[in-house]
């Protein structure tokens, strides 16, 4: 196994379909992928986005307010995922950076690490607790705080390409990249703040297709899936 402790960044869309923001079948598939993967013994933490519920500011909502709404939406997604994991027999716990202590426990690094070491999946909700930061940045920050060996970015594409493969047929897929190469090629892997923090903390990023059954398990078992970005 290539990593002992892993941070998985999921999009909110992993819980949804075109008809509903949280869909039973999509939620079940996500849980099944996670359950299959953690059977290998890896310690797993998760950050989930909110794009299935809220996509940010519009002209009539101020940015700070919109970001706070997004943080609350990640709490909703985290509660849904936590409930589904527990029903599947997987121990899990939600910690939030935002003040919603009536619903989930506030983030505490020492408690989080103890939970992970006791074989709980930990789900981080509420973003960083501050506006102007994405869930990508949250994922990198939490990965650094728990000393994760690897950050997995679950997407709908099978890696990093030289251009959008949906719009351009003449593209190159990269099996691996250094942080410097990704910057020089102007590849948008994460937002600038998140990518910079990955470089500073030397956390490798694996971008992979989460929607191909078994990919998560393969990565956690040491197979080379998707694109790896590292120092």
CATH number at residue 127: 3.40.1160.10
Q: How many CB atoms neighbour CB 176 within 10 A?
A: 15
The count of structural domains within the chain is 1
Mean pLDDT split into 10-residue runs, the chain, 231 residues: 84 95 97 90 94 83 93 96 97 92 93 96 96 95 96 95 87 94 91 91 95 94 93 81
User: What is residue 100's predicted lDDT score, i.e. its pLDDT?
Assistant: 86
pLDDT at 56: 74
Alpha-carbon distance of 26 to 21, in angstroms, equals 10
**What one-character-per-residue DSSP string does 119-164 give?**
T-EEEEESTTSSTT--HHHHHHHHHHHTT-SEEEEEESSSSEESS-
Per-residue pLDDT, 98: 80
What domain range includes position 175? 5-230
Query: Which of 83, 102, 67, 92 shows the shortest CA–CA distance to 22?
Result: 83
Tell me the C-alpha distance between 108 and 122, whole Å: 12
- Which pLDDT belongs to residue 1? 44
> Where do we find the tokens 């728990």?
146
**Greatest Cα-to-Cα distance within the chain, rounded to the nearest angstrom:** 52
pLDDT on residue 40: 72
Per-residue pLDDT, 2: 58
- Tokens encoding 175: 């099996």
Work out the burial of residue 188: count CB atoms within 10 Å of its CB; fewer than 13 is exposed, 13-18 middle, 19 or more buried: exposed
Tokens of 108: 């505490």
């Amino acid at each position: 196994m290539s990593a002992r402790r892993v941070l998985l960044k999921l999009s909110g869309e992993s819980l949804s379909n075109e008809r509903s923001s949280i869909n039973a079948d999509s939620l079940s598939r996500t849980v099944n992928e996670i359950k299959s993967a953690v059977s290998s013994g890896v310690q797993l933490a998760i950050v989930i986005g909110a794009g299935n519920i809220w996509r940010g500011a519009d002209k009539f909502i101020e940015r700070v307010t919109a970001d706070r709404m997004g943080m609350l939406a990640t709490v909703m997604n985290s509660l849904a995922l936590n409930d589904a994991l527990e029903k599947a027999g997987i121990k899990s716990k939600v910690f939030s950076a935002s003040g919603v202590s009536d619903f989930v426990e506030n983030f505490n690094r020492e408690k989080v690490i103890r939970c992970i070491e006791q074989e709980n999946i930990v789900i981080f909700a509420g973003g960083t607790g501050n506006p102007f930061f994405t869930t990508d940045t949250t994922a990198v920050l939490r990965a650094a705080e728990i000393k994760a060996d690897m950050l997995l970015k679950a997407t709908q594409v099978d890696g990093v390409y030289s251009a959008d493969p949906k719009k351009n047929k003449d593209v190159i897929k990269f099996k691996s990249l250094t942080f410097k190469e990704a910057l020089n090629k102007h590849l948008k892997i994460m937002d600038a703040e998140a990518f910079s923090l990955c470089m500073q903390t030397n956390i490798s990023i694996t971008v992979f297709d989460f929607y191909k059954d078994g990919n998560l398990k393969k990565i956690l078992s040491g197979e080379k899936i998707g694109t790896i970005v590292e120092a």
